[in-house]
Amino acid sequence: MKHRICISFLVLLTVFLFNPVLSKKGFSQNNVGQKVSYQQVKHPAWAKNATIYEVNLRQYSVPGTFKAFQTQLPRLKAMGIDILWLMPIHPIGEKNRKGTLGSFYSVKDYYGIDPSYGTMEDFKNLVNKAHELGMHLILDWVANHTSWDNPLITEHPDWYTNDSTGKIVSPFDWSDVADLNYDQPGLRTYMKDAMLWWVKETGIDGFRCDVAGMVPTDFWIDVRTELDKISPVFLLAEAEEPVLQQAFDMTYGWEFHHIMNDIAKGKKSADDIMKYFAKNDSLYQKDAYRMYFTSNHDENSWNGTEYERLGEGVKTFAVLSVTVPGMPLVYTGQELPLKKRLQFFEKDTITWKTVMLNGFYTKLLNLKKSTPALWNGAEGGKFVRIPTNVDKNVFAFVREKDKSKVIVILNLSDKPQTVALKGKDFLGTYNNIYTGKPLTLAADVQLTLKPWMYIVLTK
């Protein structure tokens, strides 16, 4: 999940339960496996049909600056991106640093900008340019821990978590950071004020909050209430606990991500998708946004590229993650495609030549943006599976709202499939967004699908 190793939720929970230091924190023991009653936040209107794009600024270009990235905004806008999530831009700690450049998530100054990215003026220009294009920008925020040389550690040592000997500790094995203690009112005020400052001073549209489940939920509720007094913000939690949806617009769909990886490896089948969404619907309210993805900075650097994990099914699973109920994430370089693991603590520049998958993503993401059936949360259409004769290998479904209708048919196997659709929800003539040709689905239709073939039909 984090910037050093991707720990599954189960491992995090196990460590939590048996770690008396961490058990003082806000990590929710009972929120992932059971229904939680909460007041859902009001989403900003512009998020209802949005797609989010994670920006790894250090690796995006040779300069790795705000100015260099700003030139990419028109391309990303045309591709269908609405929300830009910038990984942390703060100065990085030097004490106990990992690697040459250190982790983005080892924050030395919450009010500062790492000079390698540019100046505050450069950042504000980037935010303004995004707004001119009708895009929104959120900043990655690390509330759970600081670098060991953050001034707070000498000015307010009582704001940190101590072991039984009084020594400040790191969370888990993240040795380059020191754990913060939210039992301290002063820390809560400081962190809230810093977040409010960034919204007021730079005009950003919200935050992606690192390991949000390890910070008390009531802190996030307080922050959200104050932020919304400034302007409607968008908050993304790097967590999966339903209770966090009372402060956050969106939470991570980690479980679905792992299901896709397992299907690609033959460990699970298409049937497991509906089991997941039945569980999801039982835990989350209808308007809770869930983020689905085939890659992100953690997955790419620590668990492998999407091509290592999903093989020939990369585009098929991308279609799935965009068209099911939820908000899709595209990570830096996926549109190339990106077939290497980016180093986390070093400079490892992406080579931008021909953006081969630009057309693939443009058609898919703009379909989502323009089609109410695919919108986020309660704004989207109902999700209904279309039974087939080969349900273990083929996942077909329809989503419909008002006059918009989308049918998706996916071969989630490495073998050809002859598919007979069952029922009446699919009947009609549609446009295939990738071939541009009409396709009529009659009651007796049979489709021959190549391995990992995907069909996206709209009406």
| pLDDT score, position 30 | 40
User: Cα(399)–Cα(378) distance, rounded to whole angstroms?
Assistant: 13
> Is the pLDDT score of 8 beyond 60?
no
Confidence of residue 425 (pLDDT cuts 50, 70, 90): confident
| pLDDT score, position 13 | 41
- Stronger pLDDT, 457 or 444, i.e. the higher one: 457
> Is the pLDDT score of 3 beyond 70?
no
| Domain(s) of CATH 2.60.40.1180: residues in the chain | 385-458
Q: Chain-wide mean pLDDT for the chain?
A: 93
> Is the pLDDT score of 5 beyond 60?
no
| pLDDT score, position 412 | 98
| Domain(s) of CATH 3.20.20.80: residues in the chain | 9-380
Confidence of residue 35 (pLDDT cuts 50, 70, 90): low
Burial of 383 from C-beta contacts in 10 A (0-12 / 13-18 / 19+): middle
> Is the pLDDT score of 26 beyond 50?
no
Instruction: Express each pLDDT in 167-194 by its tens digit.
Output: 999 999 999 999 999 999 999 999 999 9
Which of 3.30.70.1150, 3.10.20.30, 3.50.40.10, 2.60.40.1180 would CATH assign to domain 385-458? 2.60.40.1180
In terms of residues, how long is the chain?
459
> Is the pLDDT score of 21 beyond 70?
no
Mean pLDDT of 326-354: 97
| pLDDT score, position 14 | 37
Which of 3.30.479.30, 3.20.20.80, 1.10.10.60, 1.20.210.10 would CATH assign to domain 9-380? 3.20.20.80
**Joined tokens for residue 236:** 């993304």
